[in-house]
């Protein structure tokens, strides 16, 4: 390709460590539209209140301190008839999400209050948190 096509690329999180590197690498060859919660051409905030609440717990802070490749997942959960969100934080160096690896898990209610948080190895089903539909 002697004349590569110049693309318009949206970089979400362009002000962060990884985002700045992406902008630096692609900026000379393409038009970059930066997006972020505090800076950028477009202001967006994609923060999830349940993940934000879980990240404030000691278990999640300690896990993130040592994590090299953190991945967050969330799924609906129930305690009795109370609806909640289960947040899992897995480090890819220990295994894929939901694969039975060492991870950190929190249960957060609809008001973004953390009901419980813990480290666990395996699926975390031993914590007794119902998943899917109410019982």
- Each domain of the chain, given as residue ranges in start order, spans 8-43, 49-131
Confidence band (pLDDT; 50, 70, 90) for 135? very low
* pLDDT per position as a tens digit, 57-110: 999 999 888 888 888 888 888 877 788 899 988 888 877 776 767 788 899 998
Assigned token pair, 95: 């295994």
| CA–CA gap between residue 37 and residue 19 (Å, rounded) | 13
- The sign of the dihedral angle between the CA atoms of 12, 15, 18, 21 is positive
């Amino acid at each position: 390709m002697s004349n590569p096509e110049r693309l318009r690329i949206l970089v979400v999180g362009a002000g962060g460590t990884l985002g700045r590197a992406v902008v630096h690498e692609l900026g000379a060859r393409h038009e970059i539209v930066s997006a972020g919660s505090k800076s950028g051409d477009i202001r967006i905030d994609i923060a999830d209140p349940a993940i934000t609440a879980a990240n404030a717990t000691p278990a999640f802070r300690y896990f993130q301190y040592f994590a090299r490749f953190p991945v967050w997942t969330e799924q609906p959960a129930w305690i009795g008839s109370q609806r909640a969100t289960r947040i899992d934080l897995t480090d890819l160096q220990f295994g894929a999400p939901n694969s039975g690896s060492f991870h950190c898990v929190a249960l957060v209610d609809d008001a973004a209050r953390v009901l419980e948080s813990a480290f666990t190895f395996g699926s975390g089903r031993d914590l007794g948190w119902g998943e899917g539909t109410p019982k």
